[in-house]
A and B are shown apart, each in its own frame.
Chain A
Amino acid sequence: MVKLEDYHSDDSIAWCPGCGNFSILKALKAALVDIQQQPHELVIVSGIGQAPKTPHYLRCNCFNGLHGRTLPVATGIKLANHKLTVIAQGGDGDGYGEGGNHFLHAMRRNIDITYLVHNNQVYGLTKGQASPTSDPGFVTKTTPRGAHSPACNPLMLAVASDCSFVARGFAGEIDHLEDLIKAGIRHEGFALIDILQPCVSFNRVNTFKWYSERIYKIDADSAYDAEDRLNAFQKAQEWGDKIPVGVIYRKQRPTLEKQFPAIADQPLVGQQIDPGTFIELLEIFK
């Protein structure tokens, strides 16, 4: 029986008071306990930023690697041992800026991992520069005349990439977020959960209040069909006065792991190694 205290970490938390990350951590822990995920069978892979510190604040296996390179590391871990539950975690700069190329290809591969992107539309760790998801006109020290390029829309990218699970959550809706995380982990394939999150130190525009006034839950609309890709495109485009949260798109398709006969019986880890079996291969050179 997995209990909340099983996920307790002794590491002291280095986030600003009031940071949206606290709520996301709470939702994540609750989700892991609810699905009875054993901590030692879970790996959380993260990059660099404020969000990627998260795995230190749980008791589980953690690989905190390079900025933007979360998804390839997570892919390597999952391919080596697909019995593990693998969660990748990062921020908007980490995932949509530095790691943009890996994001596209992880969705294409449909590796069975859950990707939590803490999206606060600003760089926190480097103290307040524009991020790929900053709205146009967003003024920072590096964009004194306001961000000039349109914001990257990760959900549109995900639906266009036929990502097999596309969702958006909000740090202010902890129970709803917990449900999304559970659904993402249970989903067989790549699950993107973009999580809107206020940054109390560097984003004075997209505040808790700003998000709260705009978000609405798609789930409330029973007629919404998340398997309809055109609907999903429309929903993913919504931004501004009304911002949808919930599962935007889902599609069942084979995972990357299923493509390899090498792991049909057992994970790569634990397979016996015997150099002697290669003697027969030498014949092809004769």
Chain B
Amino acid sequence: MQKAWLRRDRRGGAEFQTAGNLLVVEDLKRVTNKDMGPKDIFEIASNKKRGHSVDISIRIGGEAGQGIQSISSIIAKTFVRQGFYVFINQDFASRIRGGHNFDQVRISKYPVNAAAGNVHILIALDKETTRQDIDCLSDNGFLLFDENEIDFTSDNPNHFSIPFTQIASKVGKSKIMANSVALGSAIALTDFELKPLLDCLQEQFESKGSETIENNQKSATAGYDFVRQNLKTKPALKKSSAKGGRKNMLLTGSQALALGAMASGLKLYSGYPMSPATAIMEFVSSQADRYNIIVEQAEDEIAAINMVIGANFAGARAMTATSGGGFCLMVEALSLAGMTETPVVIIVAQRPGPSTGLPTRTEQGDLNFVLHAGHGDFPRAVLAPGRPEQALYLMSKAFNLADKYQTPVIVLSDQHFNDAYFTVDELDLGNIVIDRGDILTEQDLPSPHEYRRYAPSESGISPRILPGNTRAVLYADSDEHSPEGHITESAAVRNQMVRKRMQKLEGLRREIGPPDIYPAGEAELVLLGWGSTHGVIKEAVDKLNQKGVPAVMVHYSELFPFNPQHFSAPALKKSKIIAVENNYTGQFADFFSKNTGLSVDRRILKYDGRPFTSHEIVHQIKDMI
């Protein structure tokens, strides 16, 4: 008998379907700690097949400016150095000082690419943390705070007041060292050794001199000792050795995107600062002189993309990055690139809209926008990496497709992906191949006067020249133009040129890679996702399979032009499809249905500006069952 939740919703219409699912999402907010529990984590942790494992999450909450990020990055480094996999998600408000922010560091023996729903250690640097974040503490989790600094008391033995500031002043000779005290205290709860932390502090403060290093190390040690001496409850978290000796890499999505672009030959970056894309520009800037790259901060996004178009026209690989609002300003130039057949690469790092929206938070709400942006018909490609390795590879693919097809390529990311830290074993630069497309040189042009920029061809691609590189000249025009590039009003030429440009879409479609299907094979349940949800859906699928609910993830990172052949396996077609997306309507689900003719049975949607956890996904699917 078919289970109720598997029944295909035949009511149709995105609006109706969505409304049903939204209720489920809203319900989720009321789910208490106990329902979601840390049990899933510990179940995985003690899974016999995988042996004794580690999956610890530490959340540091406080005001902007209190050093949350420095604490989280030191914790992360301490564990990455020991061979663990670390994932950090950053949750912050749009302000420079004050407010309430947190970083959540997840440490695991196995690769983790998503935030956990519960935390085992919560470090409260402000009172707000004890209000807002306490619910995410797991059953045996610890809250660390300093009752001298924040107005909070608790009779729960796991709520542990440590005089961070007093210890810092006494041992570290300055209140500034309070964060190092907190770091040492947290390590004491995990049953890990202190030394890797001390080594990390040494490296962190190397440039500040031996006294600073010593004071930080003493403070961390004092925090560690304080916990060990005063803790009444035995820590539930067991030490486990990681693979050790191997040097993993810890980097953000923004850094992976920037690295991918630079290694693909980025020569000019122009952009206007906008969260969450700014970190890309900052990272490129930090390496610009070393790798001969020009970074020019533009007066607005319109200037940024037009500069990038100019540079690409002249033959240098150039790109810009922005968020939805900035991309709105770029759209006229997007169609300019389409019309003039100029390569251009644009990263759109999504944040919740409309308008200014939630500037520092995450959403996948701009898919429809980037698929359709621009007036008139012109070809484009849209890519959406979900892991740093994909970001690296897809940035190189973006530049190659842009050059080869002389048209815009959009790389769609989001705040969660850009700001999260991922641990990767290695990044293979060998995957990066440079294909500049068809560019003619002097030798290819025996009669320079006969060169025609928009000469018709079967593929729709006309070989280009770079100005100054040959004795030929080229005319590029935003008006409809003749094969020579001159302005035309001819109906026949118009038809010829529209077809020529759109023909490139078919070539692009053949270049688009298949979705990532995990685990390989068939299952009665398909979790359909794209972009930044790769890690979290994969984790949810693991949990479902462990619970005896056979499920596979089908994750798209190369979205457009969509190739329906990629979803042709009969086994998958029979599966029930549940879309998981960070937006209100299920934009990818609609796009997928339109292109495959398959209906998406259910949608798990979230649009509160926060990323999914695998608990949320599994919980919702449980509800459907």
CB within 8 Å of B: which residues of A?
11, 14, 39-41, 43, 45, 48, 53, 55-56, 59-66, 69, 71-81, 83-84, 101-102, 104-105, 256, 260-263, 267-271, 273, 275-279, 281-282, 285-286
Cβ-neighbour of B294 out of A79, A270, A276, A277 (below 8 A): A79
Contacts of B476 in A (CB 8 A): 62-64
Check A278–B262 contact: CB distance below 8 A: yes
Contacts of B296 in A (CB 8 A): 75, 79, 256
Q: What is the CB-to-nearest-CB distance from B448 to chain A, in angstroms, rounded to a whole number?
A: 8
Cβ-neighbour of A72 out of B249, B293, B294, B306 (below 8 A): B306
Contacts of A73 in B (CB 8 A): 306-307, 309-310, 313
Check B479–A64 contact: CB distance below 8 A: yes
Say whether B270 faces chain A, with CB atoms less than 8 Å apart. Answer: yes
CA separation between A47 and B339, bound complex, in Å?
14
Answer whether A59 and B306 are a contact pair too, CB < 8 Å, given A73-B313, A79-B294, A268-B292: no
Cβ-neighbour of A79 out of B268, B302, B448, B475 (below 8 A): B268
Check B294–A102 contact: CB distance below 8 A: no
Say whether B300 faces chain A, with CB atoms less than 8 Å apart. Answer: yes
Answer whether A268 and B474 are a contact pair too, CB < 8 Å, given A80-B318, A277-B291: no
Say whether B308 faces chain A, with CB atoms less than 8 Å apart. Answer: yes
Contacts of B251 in A (CB 8 A): 285
Cβ-neighbour of B270 out of A63, A76, A81, A271 (below 8 A): A76
Answer whether A41 and B268 are a contact pair too, CB < 8 Å, given A77-B314, A269-B315: no
Contacts of A83 in B (CB 8 A): 468
Check A62–B318 contact: CB distance below 8 A: no
CA separation between A277 and B314, bound complex, in Å?
24
Contacts of B427 in A (CB 8 A): 282
Residue of chain A at shortest CB distance from B337:
A65
Residue of chain A at shortest CB distance from B421:
A285
Indicate with 1 or 0, residue by residue over B460-489, a CB within 8 angstroms of chain A CB atoms.
000000111111111111110000111100
Check B292–A65 contact: CB distance below 8 A: no
Q: What is the CB-to-nearest-CB distance from A258 to chain B, in angstroms, rounded to a whole number?
A: 12
User: How many B residues have CB within 8 A of the partner chain?
Assistant: 70
Check A72–B313 contact: CB distance below 8 A: no
Check A278–B486 contact: CB distance below 8 A: no
Q: What is the CB-to-nearest-CB distance from A48 to chain B, in angstroms, rounded to a whole number?
A: 7
Q: What is the CB-to-nearest-CB distance from A89 to chain B, in angstroms, rounded to a whole number?
A: 14
What is the count of residue pairs linking A and B with beta-carbon distances less than 8 angstroms? 201
Check B311–A278 contact: CB distance below 8 A: no
18 contacts between A and B (CB under 8 A): A65-B478, A76-B270, A76-B307, A76-B311, A76-B318, A77-B310, A77-B311, A78-B310, A79-B310, A80-B318, A84-B468, A260-B294, A267-B316, A275-B265, A277-B291, A278-B263, A282-B259, A285-B249
Residue of chain B at shortest CB distance from A265:
B292
CA separation between A55 and B476, bound complex, in Å?
10
Check A43–B314 contact: CB distance below 8 A: yes
Contacts of A55 in B (CB 8 A): 475
CA separation between A75 and B300, bound complex, in Å?
14
Say whether B267 faces chain A, with CB atoms less than 8 Å apart. Answer: yes
Cβ-neighbour of B310 out of A62, A74, A277 (below 8 A): A74
Check B302–A69 contact: CB distance below 8 A: yes
Check B486–A56 contact: CB distance below 8 A: yes
Shortest Cβ-Cβ A-B pairs, 9 listed: A76-B310, A273-B265, A72-B306, A80-B314, A80-B316, A76-B307, A73-B310, A61-B467, A285-B249
Answer whether A63 and B340 are a contact pair too, CB < 8 Å, given A43-B467, A271-B292, A286-B248: yes
Cβ-neighbour of B300 out of A80, A101, A260, A270 (below 8 A): A101
Answer whether A84 and B429 are a contact pair too, CB < 8 Å, given A65-B340, A73-B306, A102-B299: no
CA separation between A43 and B476, bound complex, in Å?
11
Check B302–A72 contact: CB distance below 8 A: yes
CA separation between A69 and B335, bound complex, in Å?
13
Q: What is the CB-to-nearest-CB distance from A207 to chain B, in angstroms, rounded to a whole number?
A: 28
Answer whether A63 and B310 are a contact pair too, CB < 8 Å, given A278-B429, A285-B249: yes
Q: What is the CB-to-nearest-CB distance from A249 to chain B, in angstroms, rounded to a whole number?
A: 22
Contacts of B292 in A (CB 8 A): 261-263, 268, 271
Check A80–B268 contact: CB distance below 8 A: yes
Q: What is the CB-to-nearest-CB distance from A37 to chain B, in angstroms, rounded to a whole number?
A: 12
Cβ-neighbour of A76 out of B249, B293, B306 (below 8 A): B306
CA separation between A267 and B298, bound complex, in Å?
20
CA separation between A102 and B310, bound complex, in Å?
14
Q: Which of B268, B288, B306, B476 has the most CB of A within 10 A?
A: B306
CA separation between A175 and B484, bound complex, in Å?
32
Check B473–A39 contact: CB distance below 8 A: yes
Check A40–B429 contact: CB distance below 8 A: no
Contacts of B432 in A (CB 8 A): 275
Residue of chain B at shortest CB distance from A263:
B294
Say whether B289 faces chain A, with CB atoms less than 8 Å apart. Answer: yes
CA separation between A80 and B268, bound complex, in Å?
7
CA separation between A63 and B474, bound complex, in Å?
8
Check A40–B255 contact: CB distance below 8 A: no
Cβ-neighbour of A269 out of B291, B306, B316, B478 (below 8 A): B316
Check B468–A81 contact: CB distance below 8 A: yes
CA separation between A79 and B267, bound complex, in Å?
10
Say whether B247 faces chain A, with CB atoms less than 8 Å apart. Answer: yes
Contacts of B467 in A (CB 8 A): 40-41, 43, 61, 77, 81, 84
Contacts of A101 in B (CB 8 A): 299-300, 303
Say whether B333 faces chain A, with CB atoms less than 8 Å apart. Answer: yes
CA separation between A59 and B434, bound complex, in Å?
32
Check B267–A275 contact: CB distance below 8 A: no
Cβ-neighbour of B477 out of A64, A102, A256, A263 (below 8 A): A64
Cβ-neighbour of B314 out of A40, A60, A64, A81 (below 8 A): A81
Check B470–A40 contact: CB distance below 8 A: yes
CA separation between A66 and B340, bound complex, in Å?
11
CA separation between A263 and B292, bound complex, in Å?
7
Contacts of A56 in B (CB 8 A): 475, 477, 486-487
Contacts of B291 in A (CB 8 A): 277-278, 281
Indicate with 1 or 0, residue by residue over B247-288, a CB within 8 angstroms of chain A CB atoms.
111110001000100111101101000000000000000011
Check A278–B259 contact: CB distance below 8 A: yes
Check B315–A81 contact: CB distance below 8 A: yes
Residue of chain B at shortest CB distance from A59:
B473
Say whether B332 faces chain A, with CB atoms less than 8 Å apart. Answer: yes
Contacts A63-B340, A77-B311 aside, 17 further interface pairs with beta carbons under 8 A come to: A14-B487, A40-B472, A43-B467, A62-B473, A62-B485, A65-B478, A66-B306, A76-B312, A77-B467, A81-B316, A84-B467, A101-B299, A260-B294, A271-B292, A275-B265, A275-B434, A285-B250
Q: Which of A43, A81, A285 has the most CB of B within 10 A?
A: A285
Check B294–A75 contact: CB distance below 8 A: no
Q: What is the CB-to-nearest-CB distance from A111 to chain B, in angstroms, rounded to a whole number?
A: 9
Residue of chain A at shortest CB distance from B302:
A69
Residue of chain B at shortest CB distance from A56:
B486
Check B293–A262 contact: CB distance below 8 A: yes
Check B473–A60 contact: CB distance below 8 A: yes
Contacts of B308 in A (CB 8 A): 76
CA separation between A275 and B612, bound complex, in Å?
34
Say whether B336 faces chain A, with CB atoms less than 8 Å apart. Answer: yes
Check A268–B311 contact: CB distance below 8 A: yes
Answer whether A64 and B309 are a contact pair too, CB < 8 Å, given A40-B468, A105-B303: no
Q: What is the CB-to-nearest-CB distance from A268 to chain B, in angstroms, rounded to a whole number?
A: 4
Q: What is the CB-to-nearest-CB distance from B480 to chain A, in angstroms, rounded to a whole number?
A: 12
Residue of chain B at shortest CB distance from A11:
B486
Q: What is the CB-to-nearest-CB distance from A57 to chain B, in angstroms, rounded to a whole number?
A: 10
Cβ-neighbour of A102 out of B262, B288, B303, B470 (below 8 A): B303
Check B267–A279 contact: CB distance below 8 A: no
